[in-house]
């Protein structure tokens, strides 16, 4: 959105994170209990009111950003190629209306925030559980950023962090932030084993289990090992064995951005802190949801580094 999120009041006091999380929960409940989607029933149960309240809080922040941008006519920095600038441009040309413009921005925030935050959190958890891999990450970070503190991270710096890339991919493999994606079948089709999948059926692509399929990942498919992403191993593997951002026409449009922002966050955290935990990898329990949930979230300790 081209705005410094830390400067927003609603970010500082968590007023934006809580309604966003409630919104995700409401969406999950609507999928699990389709009755909730019926307008009359949802009104009787008071769900409409709850949804409207949550939405108005989330839209409040967005409206402020959009209003500010729209008032600053002529000051758009097109080199930034921001979503918000593009939709304002389309709205000014009369190609979309205000409602669609806001909803495009809203979808982008909703798709980006929890997924990226979960990825960073899961990477920290796994590295805390496997200190030997964290040491390798730290050595690489120390070479690229010799001085700790609040350093800048350039695009070129990110290219040098090849081990962190492997850690990030291995994290997305073992704990994909979106563990399964539903699709409605458009036409009848037959699987290679002869099973007919009829038109209209809703099927789910089980990303979590694809990523742990021993036929593709070998006997240690369930273990955390960044070497799964050594270039030779990647080359030999089926391209659809690793699909955290989905594949094809409707894949994630933010995947490069997500990887860059997660890498920046991890570089800053892990160059400045050693992370540890007493929680064991074997004790992680995964709960299917729109966004991946851990039954118990491991607590982490952060120890400052020099
Ligand atoms: C690690 C972080 C992320 C993961 C794992 C992830 C994963 C995914 C997946 C699996 C889908 C396909 C969903 C489906 O087909 O049902 C998707 C779609 C999408 N993602 Fe992401 N995403 C991430 C970050 C982002 C970011 C940062 C943005 C925006 C800046 C974003 C924007 C979108 C959008 C707009 C779609 C819908 C695309 C469409 O339907 O054509 N995502 N993402």
Q: Domain containing 142 — which CATH number?
A: 1.10.630.10
Specify if 27 maps to a domain. yes
Same domain, yes or no: 179 and 302? yes
Distance between CA atoms of 231 and 288, rounded to whole angstroms? 30
- The SS3 of residue 180 is strand
Specify if 186 maps to a domain. yes
Residue nearest to atom 43 of ligand 1 (CA): 252
Average pLDDT for the chain: 90
pLDDT, tens only, 184-240? 899 999 999 999 999 999 888 999 999 999 999 999 999 999 999 999 999 999 999
Check residue 253 and give its pLDDT.
93
Check residue 296 and give its pLDDT.
95
* Residue of 255, 263, 292 whose CA lies nearest to 112: 255
Same domain, yes or no: 255 and 142? yes
Q: For residue 73, what pLDDT band results from cuts at 50, 70 and 90?
A: low
- For tokens 């704990």, name the residue: 175
Q: Is the CB of 131 under 6 A from ligand 1?
A: no
Checking if the pLDDT of 12 tops 90, the result is: no
Backbone angles phi, psi at 10, to 5 degrees: -70, -20
Residue nearest to atom 1 of ligand 1 (CA): 116
Same domain, yes or no: 135 and 89? no
Which atom of ligand 1 lies at the shortest distance from residue 261's CA? 27
Specify if 198 maps to a domain. yes
Distance between CA atoms of 232 and 235, rounded to whole angstroms? 5
* Residue of 47, 48, 61 whose CA lies nearest to 19: 61
Same domain, yes or no: 168 and 290? yes
Q: How far, CA to CA in Å, does 287 sit from each of 47, 114, 169, 180?
A: 24, 15, 20, 11
284-306 mean pLDDT: 90
- The SS3 of residue 209 is helix
Burial 143-177 (b: 16+ CB within 10 A, else e): ebbeeeeebebeeebbeebebbbbbbbbbbbbbbb
265-274 mean pLDDT: 98
Same domain, yes or no: 148 and 297? yes
Distance between CA atoms of 12 and 236, rounded to whole angstroms? 46
Q: Is the CB of 254 under 6 A from ligand 1?
A: yes
pLDDT, tens only, 160-189? 999 999 999 999 999 999 998 988 899 999
Q: Is the CB of 108 under 6 A from ligand 1?
A: yes
Q: Is the CB of 249 under 6 A from ligand 1?
A: no
- For tokens 């932030």, name the residue: 177
Distance between CA atoms of 87 and 84, rounded to whole angstroms? 5
- What range does the domain containing 229 cover? 130-306
* Residue of 234, 247, 249, 305 whose CA lies nearest to 272: 305
Same domain, yes or no: 305 and 156? yes
Specify if 294 maps to a domain. yes
Helices (H) and strands (E) in the chain, counts: 13, 8
Give the count of domains, the chain: 2
Last residue of a domain, one of 96, 120, 142: 96
Specify if 124 maps to a domain. no
Last residue of a domain, one of 44, 78, 96: 96
Check residue 177 and give its pLDDT.
95
pLDDT, tens only, 96-151? 998 888 888 888 888 888 899 999 999 999 999 999 999 999 999 999 999 999 99
Global pTM?
0.89
Specify if 238 maps to a domain. yes
Specify if 90 maps to a domain. yes
Same domain, yes or no: 150 and 295? yes
Check residue 185 and give its pLDDT.
92
């Amino acid at each position: 959105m081209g705005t410094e999120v830390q400067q927003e009041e609603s970010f500082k006091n968590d007023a934006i994170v809580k309604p966003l999380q409630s919104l995700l929960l409401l969406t999950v409940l609507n999928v699990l209990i389709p009755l909730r989607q019926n307008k009359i029933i949802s009104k009787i149960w008071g769900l409409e009111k709850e949804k409207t309240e949550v939405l108005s809080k989330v839209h409040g922040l967005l409206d402020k950003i959009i209003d500010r941008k729209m008032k600053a006519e002529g000051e758009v920095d097109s080199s930034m190629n921001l979503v918000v600038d593009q939709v304002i441009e389309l709205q000014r040309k009369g190609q979309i209306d205000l409602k669609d413009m806001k909803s495009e921005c809203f979808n982008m925030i909703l798709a980006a925030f929890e997924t990226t935050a979960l990825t960073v959190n899961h990477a920290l958890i796994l590295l805390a559980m496997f200190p030997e891999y964290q040491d390798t990450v730290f050595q690489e970070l120390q070479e690229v950023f010799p001085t700790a503190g609040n350093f800048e991270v350039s695009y070129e710096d990110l290219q040098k962090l090849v081990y962190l890339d492997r850690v990030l991919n291995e994290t997305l493999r073992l704990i994909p932030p979106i563990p399964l994606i539903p699709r409605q079948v458009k036409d009848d089709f037959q699987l290679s084993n002869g099973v007919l999948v009829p038109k209209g059926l809703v099927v789910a692509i089980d990303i979590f289990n694809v990523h742990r399929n021993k036929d593709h990942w070998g006997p240690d498919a369930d273990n955390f090992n960044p070497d799964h992403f050594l270039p030779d191993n990647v080359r030999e593997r089926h391209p659809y064995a690793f699909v955290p951002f989905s594949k094809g026409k409707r894949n994630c449009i933010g995947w490069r951005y997500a990887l860059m922002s997660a890498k920046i966050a991890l570089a800053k955290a892990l160059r400045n802190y050693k992370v540890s935990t007493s929680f064991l990898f074997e004790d992680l329990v995964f709960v299917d949801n729109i966004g991946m949930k851990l039954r118990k979230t491991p607590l982490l300790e952060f120890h400052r580094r020099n």
